[in-house]
Every structure is written in C-alpha cells, then in structure tokens.
C-alpha cells in the first residue's frame, strides 16, 4: 500500500500486474493539494498552467471561465505521439509513476482523477500510447490522460475500444477536468521514470542470465579459472566484480571440463578473462541508476508545485519536471548493457570459430553440409552494431521548443526508450550465446562432466529446445531462447 513513495521494484511489479493501493496518508495529501489549487483559483493569483497558458504562453492570463477548457485543450493538443504503441507493462508503469507523483501532495489534482487512474490499472485497461514524439515528457502521458475524459483508445480484454467505451465497461464516468489538472496529467518525469522502472526490472534479470550464460561458454572453451580467484579479483575494488566473480566460481565449481583444461593456456582472451570486469561494471551501473530512479520516485516532479494551505496557498514555478540525472543514468546503463552484449557477441564468435575453439566449424554436426551457428553469429554482430549506434547519449540531444521558452531539454524519455531498445538486442545476443554454448557442451558431453551450476542452465534450455542439427529454421530457436531469458530468472542449483 502506497503511503509515502514507490520504489523502482514495486513500480515494476505494478507494471507486471500487481495491484496499487493508496493509504490514507496519500489520499489526504492528494485532497489537501486539490484544495490549495481551488484556493489559488479563487484568489486570482497568476500561476503557471492554472490561471495562465503553458509553455511560451506562460504570461497569457486565462480567465476563470476558460480554465476547464484549458485543461481539456492541453490534453487534445499534447496528444500528438506517433509510431508503434508502448507495451502494456510500459503504460502501466507510467500510470503507476504518475499516481505516485500525485500522492506526494504537490500536484493539485482531485482524488477522483487518481481513482480513475487506479481503475485503469485494476481492470488492466491499457491506453494506446504511441512510443515516439516526446522531446521531454508530454505526449505519452497526454495519450493516457485522454482516456480519463472519454477520449482516445485503449486495449481492454484483448479488444481495441474507445476511451468512452472502456470507461463504461469498467464502470466509471469520464472526468471533467478542473484548473491545473490537464497540465498535471501531462507534466513531470513520470513517463521516463516508469519506463526506467521497467528497464531496471529487465536489466536485473538479464545480468543474472549474462553471468550464467558466460559460465557455460567458459566451461565449453575450457577457461583458465585462476583469473577469477577471489584474491585475484579483490585487487580491483568493485562490488560488481566481486559479485560476478563469485557467481562464476559457484557456477563452475566441480566442472570436469574446466579441470581437464587447467594450465592449457597462459591466459584466455579478454572476452573470457574480463567477464567480471565488464559484467561487474554493468552491475555497479545498475545500482547507481536504481538509486537515481528511486530518488525520482521520491521527488515531486510537477511544475508548478503547490504547497501551504487553502488559507495561505503557495505556488512555485520551478524546473522539477526536467530530469537530467535520470537521462544521464539511463544513457549510462544503455552503454553498459551494450558493452556486455558486445562482449557476448565476441564469445559467440569464439565458440563458432574453428580457428580458436577447438570445436567443429560453427558447431555444425556436419560442417560443410551444415552451417550450424555461422549466420547466428552474423545476427549477433548486427545487433551489437545497432547497440553501438544506440549508445549515443540522448541526454545531449539538442532542440529548442515552445518559442524559446523551453530552450533546454534533458530527454530522459528518449534515454529510457533507447535503453529498452538496447535491452531488446542484448536479450537476443545472450540468447544466441546460450544456444551456441549449449551446442558446444553437447559436442563435448563424452569428454567430461559439466558442473552442476552450468548443468541447470543447460537443462533449462534443453527442456524447450533440442540440439540443433540444421534441421529447422534457426530463428525459431533464437526466439524461444530469448523468450526464456525474458520471462524467467536464471536457474540455480536447488
């Protein structure tokens, strides 16, 4: 139950279908802020987005009779997104983050607005939100807010219906917006924060899989394990390095394939030897970004913010709706994931390349007649190259909007969307490595026994896919393996 603030983990849970409930303290804060806005309207004080227009129209006074129309018109003009729709879990996360922002008690929307948003979550009524068009934070949330007033379209119970039809089906009436509510519904960093929560959930799962899959490759290639000794890794101070090193040692403990190759080489290639360093850096980056997202959820990101009391109302125009720290953090995490995915692609090449693997060319059962994983490595390389292009920081994008009024934009939403795209590619690259490493272990099954820690990962794949023999389209196997990574956690020894 939300009393103070969500954290990223709880917001990600709501994105996946968990219920969001508000406690009495949260409802009291929401109602108090709404009464402050009503008092500001009655006072006639100039207040951005309440008694004035928005953006470059901040100095244009809107009379009291037009304030409802201003709120409605903001949604109509700001709902101008284009492109493919966001996934349902992404929309749910944005709604959760927006409710969380309102619950801080400085936005001024009435409780019935929040109740309507909660009803969307409770009934899994998903507004259709185009993924492109937000230079800052406006368009995505405007498309969500349209549904609250009976406009827009949604997906409900597998069907696309109008906002008005959806509200009727879930038993609530369209809301009539009051002063400031239109602005509050499109304002703040809730969009990028919600998307960031979804990304963190995916990254957390992928990092576990990345270590597990890398362990399979290390075993298949007979890695030299002294590089991962606890005392050796401790020479480089990093919580992430320590965590990854321990994970690799635990996964590979008791491997006869590893012991059979002890001392075979002075040292391994860096795509093997530096796994703790690259994966560990990604884990350290994850911890940093998780803290940034949690601070964003704990913050008020509305402009203007209201405070005080109905008797002595206060309104502050500020820049809390801008999210430079969030944008920079999401950019950094995209680079970290792109880097470990690039390293995974290099390991795939080592598995399939007969010049370095000591295994049949491209892991084919019949090299020549069969190409095995030759072209799967091409796909991994293509995805890795796309990630490199996506690594350019969104937080440094330019653009001047709203007639020079909004002449700096941090682009956290673009950074979040870019991170999600990098994750799509990274999941598929690691899935290809999993397929190739399992195939390599199949080839060596008669030589020596696998470790228990890698065997559970191997069996999780073989439970859904048999060994590959150029007997079916490889794309189906790649999709199934990616589905395993995206929907489950990496298995551990019971």
Asked if 216 and 346 touch (Cβ cutoff 8 Å), the reply is: no
- Distance of alpha carbon 114 from the chain centroid: 24
Instruction: Identify the domain containing residue 122 by its residue range.
Output: 8-187
Is the pLDDT score of 107 beyond 60? Answer: yes
Q: What is the pTM of this model?
A: 0.95
**Distance between terminal CA atoms of the chain?**
33
Cα(43)–Cα(333) distance, integer angstroms: 46
Is the pLDDT score of 137 beyond 70? Answer: no
Tell me, yes or no, whether 277 lies in a domain: yes
Q: What is the pLDDT of residues 53-83, one digit of tens each?
A: 665 555 666 667 677 888 899 999 999 999 9
Asked if 191 and 94 touch (Cβ cutoff 8 Å), the reply is: yes
Cα(487)–Cα(349) distance, integer angstroms: 26
Tell me the mean pLDDT in the region 225-236: 97
Tell me, yes or no, whether 205 lies in a domain: yes
Tell me the mean pLDDT in the region 161-179: 96
| Domain's final residue, options 141, 160, 187 | 187
Tell me, yes or no, whether 358 lies in a domain: yes
**H/E element holding 10?**
helix 8-15
The domain that contains 386 carries what CATH number? 1.20.200.10
Same-domain check for residues 282 and 428: yes
Tell me, yes or no, whether 494 lies in a domain: no
Asked about 378 being catalytic, the answer comes back as no
Cα(173)–Cα(109) distance, integer angstroms: 17
Residue of 142, 138, 164 lying closest to 153 (CA atoms)? 164
Number of folded domains that form the chain: 2
Strand arrangement, sheet containing 159-162? 126-127, 153-156, 159-162
Cα(329)–Cα(321) distance, integer angstroms: 16
| Domain's final residue, options 126, 158, 187 | 187
Asked if 405 and 323 touch (Cβ cutoff 8 Å), the reply is: no
Cα(342)–Cα(326) distance, integer angstroms: 24
pLDDT score recorded for residue 159: 96
Q: What is the pLDDT of residues 286-312, one digit of tens each?
A: 999 999 999 999 999 988 999 999 999
Tell me the mean pLDDT in the region 358-376: 95
pLDDT score recorded for residue 411: 87
- Respond yes or no on whether the N-terminal peptide bond of residue 459 is cis (omega within 30° of 0): no
Tell me the mean pLDDT in the region 23-38: 96
Same-domain check for residues 341 and 394: yes
Cα(162)–Cα(177) distance, integer angstroms: 19
Same-domain check for residues 107 and 256: no
CA–CA distances in Å: residue 413 to residues 72, 145, 240, 256, 489: 23, 17, 27, 48, 27
The domain that contains 83 carries what CATH number? 1.10.275.10
Cα(105)–Cα(299) distance, integer angstroms: 11
Tell me, yes or no, whether 493 lies in a domain: no
pLDDT score recorded for residue 397: 81
Tell me, yes or no, whether 326 lies in a domain: yes
pLDDT score recorded for residue 61: 65
> Which residue's structure tokens are 């968990």?
18
Tokens (6 digits) for 247:
């994970």
Same-domain check for residues 167 and 255: no
| Domain's final residue, options 187, 207, 238 | 187
Q: What is the pLDDT of residues 388-439, one digit of tens each?
A: 999 999 888 876 665 545 655 778 999 999 999 999 999 999 999 999 999 9
Cα(273)–Cα(27) distance, integer angstroms: 54
Percent of the chain with pLDDT over 70: 95
Region of 338 (left: φ > 0; alpha: ψ -120 to 50; beta: rest) is: alpha
Same-domain check for residues 14 and 128: yes
If pLDDT is split at 50, 70 and 90, which confidence band does 52 have?
confident
């Amino acid at each position: 139950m939300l009393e103070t603030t969500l954290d990223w983990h709880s917001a990600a849970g709501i994105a996946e279908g968990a219920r969001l409930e508000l406690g009495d303290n949260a409802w009291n804060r929401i109602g108090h802020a709404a009464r402050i806005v009503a008092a500001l309207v009655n006072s006639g004080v100039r207040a951005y987005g309440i008694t004035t227009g928005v953006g470059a129209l901040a100095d244009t006074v809107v009379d009291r009779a037009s304030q409802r129309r201003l709120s409605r018109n903001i949604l109509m003009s700001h709902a101008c997104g284009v492109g493919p729709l966001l996934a349902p879990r992404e929309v749910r996360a944005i709604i959760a983050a927006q409710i969380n922002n309102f619950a801080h008690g400085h936005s001024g929307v009435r409780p019935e607005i929040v109740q309507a948003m909660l009803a969307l979550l409770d009934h899994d009524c998903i507004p259709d939100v185009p993924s492109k068009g937000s230079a800052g934070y406006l368009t995505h949330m405007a498309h969500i807010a349209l549904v609250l007033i009976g406009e827009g379209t949604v997906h409900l119970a597998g069907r696309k219906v109008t906002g008005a039809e959806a509200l009727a089906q879930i038993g609530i009436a369209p809301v009539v917006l009051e002063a400031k509510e239109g602005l509050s519904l499109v304002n703040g960093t809730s969009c990028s924060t919600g998307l960031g929560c979804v990304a963190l959930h995916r990254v957390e799962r992928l990092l576990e899989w990345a270590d597990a899959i890398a362990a399979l490759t290390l075993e298949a290639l007979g890695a030299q394990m002294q590089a991962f000794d606890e005392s050796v890794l401790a020479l480089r101070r990093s919580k992430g390095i320590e965590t990854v090193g321990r994970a690799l040692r635990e996964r590979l403990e008791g491997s006869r394939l590893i012991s059979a190759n002890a001392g075979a080489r002075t040292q391994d290639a860096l795509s093997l030897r530096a796994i703790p360093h690259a994966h560990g850096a990604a884990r350290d980056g994850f911890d940093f970004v998780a803290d940034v997202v949690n601070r964003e959820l704990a913050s008020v990101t509305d402009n203007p913010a209201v405070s005080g009391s109905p008797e002595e109302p206060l309104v502050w125009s500020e820049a809390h709706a801008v999210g430079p720290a969030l944008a920079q953090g999401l950019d950094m995490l995209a680079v970290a994931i792109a880097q470990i995915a690039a390293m995974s692609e290099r390991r795939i090449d080592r598995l399939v390349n007969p010049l370095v693997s000591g295994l049949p060319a491209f892991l084919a059962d019949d090299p020549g007649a069969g190409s095995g994983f030759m072209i799967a490595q091409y796909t991994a390389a293509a995805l890795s190259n796309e990630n490199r292009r996506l690594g350019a920081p969104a937080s440094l994008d330019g653009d001047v909007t709203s007639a020079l009024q909004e002449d700096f934009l941090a682009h956290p939403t673009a950074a979040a969307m870019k991170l999600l795209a990098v994750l799509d590619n990274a999941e598929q690259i690691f899935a290809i490595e999993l397929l190739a490493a399992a195939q390599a272990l199949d080839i060596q099954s008669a030589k020596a026994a696998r470790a228990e820690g890698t065997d559970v990962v191997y069996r999780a794949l073989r439970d859904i896919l048999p060994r590959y023999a150029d007997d079916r389209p490889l794309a189906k196997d790649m999709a199934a393996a990616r589905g395993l990574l995206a929907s489950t956690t990496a298995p551990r020894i019971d």
